[in-house]
Amino acid sequence: MKKIYLLHKSFLILFFFTFFTCCGSIGKAVELSQIRFGRQSDDCIRVVAHIDQKTNCRIFTLQNPHRIVIDFENTTLKPSLTENIPDPLLFVEAVRVGNPLDGQTRLVLETNTPVDFKEGFFLTPVQNGDSWRYVVDITRTGSVSSTEKPVLLPISPKSSVPYKTKMQKPLIVLDPGHGGADPGAISYSGKYEKNLTLQMAKEVKKEIEKTGKYTVKLTRETDKALTLRGRIAFAHKNEADLFISIHADSAKNKNAKGLSVYTISERASDKEAQLLAERENKADIILGMDLTNEAPEVSNILIDLAKRDTMDKSSHYANILVKKMGKQVKLVKDAHRFAGFVVLKSPNIPSVLIEIGYLSNREEERNLGKASYRAKLAKSIVEAINDYFETIYE
């Protein structure tokens, strides 16, 4: 997957001039009104989607079960369509259509065999009042398809991260909080947060690698200093599909305990979340690198094109994780929280920050020192990763 970094000012001007002049209709949602199947041969089905405007269409395949997925951007469903879904045909066993994200319609065809597809194309309306037709041919292969690259028709800029193909393992980046000259929180017995988070991250990495489903990397594998934006840059450079930052908090109230999961928001969910984010975001200043006034890594305008989809996916993983951890360990009340953490501000990589406990609480400090307790946390994190990647493309 390619990530967008800094763009030259003149390119931005040209980009948005082209966008708003050539694609002025994108503000109006496209309506998907009909889906039809046609039998081309015993091994080929033609899918025809009727829409009232041209729009971006993304198509890709998935396994376990075999599926072909077609996403229509900036599109709504005509209400009558849900009552007129075409019946399964040949190797297509089930047909689903829905709106997994605002502004996106998804058609999913479950097949009983591996399939391939030819690049889709548009047919123009024959006369006024007729619809546009998006056409794609799906072919039974009988073996794993080698054509797995998503196809995007170049009508307008993409607003979200491209889907990784099934031939590539999703990449998880684990980010142990603090490090080097920044110890983070310090426990009753003098343990440093930076050491606990690194230990936890390494154990989670091992648990992830046991699945064989993912590639996993750590932002740091030793006690070294990393800037907050350097952690984001690491995730971008490695084209991460999910970013998990691991921390262990402290509180003035020594009785405070429980785990929590944070996703990005400019407005904190409560005062405690706001104060925590402010403390964590000062880590660069502690290291002698005040990045408060640093230029954004990506233009704010381009961030807006991607961040809504990313925030939805971040919250999706966070909600799954809270449920998994809640079965194993104690959580704080309203465990999915929101705050403006710098490390969560990537516009196109789903990101969460996990507070694995309060080092200011004696019981939680003891728990984090137990291999059995850390194993439960690692198991919850990995189970949530599995559920996330199994459901994010449904």
Q: What is the DSSP letter of 370?
A: -
Q: Which of 101, 117, 152 is the last residue before a domain boundary?
A: 152
**Same domain, yes or no: 134 and 229:** no
Residue 15 lies in a domain: no
- Alpha-carbon distance of 96 to 82, in angstroms, equals 9
Q: What is the token pair recorded at 245?
A: 């930052």
- Alpha-carbon distance of 393 to 41, in angstroms, equals 29
Q: What is the DSSP letter of 344?
A: G
The per-residue pLDDT for 29 is: 76
**Same domain, yes or no: 116 and 178:** no
245, amino acid identity: S
Residue 14 lies in a domain: no
**Same domain, yes or no: 32 and 135:** yes
The per-residue pLDDT for 278 is: 54
Residue 238 lies in a domain: yes
Tens digit of each residue's pLDDT (9 = 90 or more) over 160-171? 333 444 447 899
The per-residue pLDDT for 27 is: 52
List average pLDDT for each run of 10 residues in the chain, which is 394 residues long.
39 43 52 83 86 85 80 80 74 79 79 83 78 86 47 35 54 93 87 94 96 95 87 87 92 88 63 49 42 40 53 88 91 82 74 92 93 95 94 67
Matching residue, tokens 């699945």: 211
Number of domains in the chain: 2
**Same domain, yes or no: 64 and 192:** no
* Global pTM exceeds 0.95: no
**Same domain, yes or no: 45 and 131:** yes
Q: Which of 122, 152, 182 is the last residue before a domain boundary?
A: 152
Helix (H, G, I), strand (E, B) or coil at 134: strand
The per-residue pLDDT for 354 is: 93
Backbone torsions φ then ψ of 136, nearest 5 degrees: -145, 135
**Same domain, yes or no: 235 and 188:** yes
Query: Does residue 65 have a cis bond before it (omega within 30 degrees)?
Result: yes
Backbone torsions φ then ψ of 368, nearest 5 degrees: -70, -15
**Same domain, yes or no: 114 and 222:** no
The per-residue pLDDT for 343 is: 65
What stretch of H or E contains 104?
A: strand 104-111
Residue 8 lies in a domain: no
Summarize the chain as % helix, strand, coil (round to 5). 30, 30, 40
**Same domain, yes or no: 220 and 348:** yes
Three-point CA angle 385, 390, 394, nearest 5°: 140
Alpha carbons within 13 angstroms on the beta-carbon side of residue 235 total: 29
**Same domain, yes or no: 186 and 324:** yes
The per-residue pLDDT for 225 is: 85
Q: Which of 100, 118, 152 is the last residue before a domain boundary?
A: 152
Q: Name which of 196, 201, 73 is nearest 134 in CA terms.
A: 73
Residue 338 lies in a domain: yes
Inter-CA distances, 41 with 60, 138, 146, 262, Å: 21, 11, 21, 51
Q: How do strand 132-140 and strand 171-176 relate by DSSP bridges?
A: unpaired
**Same domain, yes or no: 86 and 195:** no
Residue 197 lies in a domain: yes
Assess contact for 211 and 386: CB atoms under 8 A.
Answer: yes
Query: Which CATH number does the domain housing residue 311 bear?
Result: 3.40.630.40
**Same domain, yes or no: 130 and 214:** no
253, amino acid identity: N
Residue 277 lies in a domain: yes
For 73, counting Cβ atoms within 10 Å of its Cβ (0-12 exposed, 13-18 middle, 19+ buried), the class is buried
Tens digit of each residue's pLDDT (9 = 90 or more) over 86-120? 777 788 888 888 776 667 788 888 888 888 887 78
The per-residue pLDDT for 78 is: 78
Query: Which CATH number does the domain housing residue 129 bear?
Result: 2.60.40.3500
Name the residue range of residue 108's domain.
Answer: 24-152
**Same domain, yes or no: 193 and 342:** yes
Residue 17 lies in a domain: no
